[in-house]
Structure 1
Amino acid sequence: MASLKRQAFNQHLLERFIDTFDLQPSWIKSHPKYRTLLEYGSLSP
């Protein structure tokens, strides 16, 4: 459960960065390391 909460928080945070810095969401979300950022700090990928 903690890992799911962490991943949801990471996704929310990445969305905030994308919006705040006016980045192109498709570029960010299609990057191979995007999944790694979503799973950062979670117990299991």
Structure 2
Amino acid sequence: MNTLALVGTRDDLLARIATLEQAGIDELLIQPVIDPPTEMAQLAKLLT
């Protein structure tokens, strides 16, 4: 499975999504990160 992170300003994201559409990508899965420090701590616990 290929993965890609979309990070940037609104204009950056719009440009990157347009580029993906031109390349034939027709679906995106978006999962916002609400509390990065807590989520990373939970991930670290899962991995140890």
**Common fold by TM > 0.5:** no
Question: TM-score, normalized by length of structure 2?
Answer: 0.33
Which structure's residues are more often helix, by fraction? Answer: 1
